[in-house]
Copies of this chain bind each other. A is one copy, B any other.
């Protein structure tokens, strides 16, 4: 599984960072999922190997424009790319009419079905390989984190069960190993009942805006990677006196340390943090602040940077 950041700036784009969007790419390397879709997400995609045709679902964390204003353009371009496969978009119910009206008012024809699902009532969304659930967060508006968990990773035949049920080795086992259903002595045997994951499922949490990381305490247990906003540093919040419903790097780092998060990826940085380390405040201030409280593997997300999450749960930069 890979993470590819398409936008890591909070609120407004900068020359170096676009507004929020993150791609989660399946281990197969082609199918992928989009978490948040700020304006210009489709432009960022042009700089990646990802195709809109391989997109399996869009997940919007909350209603703020820097997380969803790229939806109409992305859908229109998907239509022009010739996509025909239905597309699920999980997003706040308050945005459904806006997405629909954008398509009708602009006379946009889509050759595929768009299924708008309310994030508020999402409990268990599944593709063939991933299960997605939500965690309620705290922000100026309702906001969620999405928890992506691999389904039945690298399944192998449950030989013990097959033997116990007296199902003879041979082509029958081969079909069951492929997940097929087979007939045997008047019974229908389903592959899924005889397949077992051969390793723990990887779990990745990609959070929306949030000023209370403690809300992730339960979900963070056993997560391999947590992607969380760190809009500000303590120094900036102390000077301005306002968080606007966001977290500081210190706050997220302290939580991740206490929760034992293996890989913490910070993103959604205020545009005030400059890339140039000689400027003040600069993005290194965020890193320094987080490292003072967190001893795990810390990453500051960069636009267009891709990270691989190994089967062992290690996060490494790709390319």
* Chain A interfacial positions (CB closer than 8 Å to B): 11-15, 18-19, 38-40, 42-43, 46-47, 63-66, 68-70, 72-73, 76-77, 80, 94-95, 97-98, 101-102, 105-108, 140-141
Contacts and interface: CB of A to CB of B under 8 A. Distances in A.
Total copies of the chain: 2
Contact of A72 (B13, B65, B77): B65
A106 to B, nearest CB: 4
Given A39-B70, A40-B43, A42-B39, A63 B15 contact: no
A76 B80 contact: no
A66 B106 CA distance: 9
A94 B47 CA distance: 33
Contacts of A73: 19, 38-40, 65-66, 69
A282 to B, nearest CB: 19
A69 B38 CA distance: 12
Given A18-B43, A64-B106, 11 more contacts: A12-B77, A12-B80, A13-B42, A13-B77, A19-B73, A39-B40, A40-B40, A63-B105, A65-B73, A65-B102, A101-B101
A80 B94 CA distance: 22
A280 to B, nearest CB: 21
Contacts of A38: 73
Contacts of A12: 42, 77, 80
Nearest to A95: B105
A101 B101 CA distance: 9
A98 B107 contact: no
Contacts of A97: 101, 105
Contacts of A66: 73, 76
A137 to B, nearest CB: 15
A63 B107 contact: yes
Contacts of A76: 65-66, 69
A107 B42 CA distance: 23
Contact of A98 (B11, B39, B102, B141): B102
Closest 10 CB pairs of A and B: A39-B73, A65-B106, A69-B73, A65-B76, A98-B105, A40-B40, A98-B101, A69-B72, A94-B105, A12-B77
A76 B70 CA distance: 13
21 contacts: A12-B77, A14-B46, A19-B73, A39-B39, A39-B40, A39-B72, A40-B73, A43-B43, A64-B106, A65-B108, A66-B73, A69-B72, A69-B73, A69-B106, A95-B105, A97-B105, A98-B101, A98-B102, A98-B106, A101-B101, A107-B140
A69 B65 CA distance: 12
A164 B68 CA distance: 64
Nearest to A70: B39
Contact of A46 (B13, B43, B69, B77): B13
